[in-house]
Amino acid sequence: MSGGMDIHEILKYLPHRYPFLLVDRVISYESGKDIVALKNVTINEPFFSGHFPHHPVMPGVLIVEALAQASAILALRTEASKVNEDSVYYFVGIDGVRFKRPVMAGDQLMLKVEIARQIKGIWKFKARAEVDGNLVTEATLMCTARSV
């Protein structure tokens, strides 16, 4: 198992920036296998002002996006490459998404992704997000890097 990554290292692997960078730290990863990352969900997130002002809940689509960003880091680390201006990492499919409970301001979202397979540049991942050890979201993600 390899060590973690701080935000400075993450920025070398993801093109996303505020307010769309949804991975704060990588706790651990094993090239070709899995990654555990985290997103600290704070009341200062820009989406909370509209989703919902009276009951701030992290949008499910952003939880899935955070899982996809963690998967991109894993794929790039596995291929021993970094993000560049000539390519973008895209979703090509999302299956079996289930939302088990809401994610609120103050939660620490643990992103756990494992590689299911990789064929012809298409990566398939089993992904789950947890808060305090409890499952909040699970999905199968398919992603690929494409030249722009």
Q: Give the span between the Cα atoms of 107 and 98, in whole angstroms.
A: 19
What is the architecture, at CATH level 2, of domain 7-147? Roll (3.10)
pLDDT at 86: 78
Examine the residue annotation and report whether 51 is marked as an active-site residue of this protein: yes
Q: Rounded to two decimals, what is the model's pTM?
A: 0.95
Looking at the predicted structure, is the pLDDT value of residue 41 above 70?
yes
pLDDT averaged over every residue in the chain = 93
Region 1-12: mean pLDDT is: 89
Choice among 8, 16, 51, 55 that is catalytic: 51
pLDDT band, residue 1 (cuts 50/70/90):
low
The per-residue pLDDT for range 80-134, each reduced to its tens digit, is 877 677 778 889 999 999 999 999 999 999 999 999 999 988 999 999 999 999 9
Cβ burial, residue 22 (10 Å; 0-12/13-18/19+): buried
Helices (H) and strands (E) in the chain, counts: 2, 6
pLDDT at 89: 83
Q: Give the span between the Cα atoms of 64 and 48, in whole angstroms.
A: 17
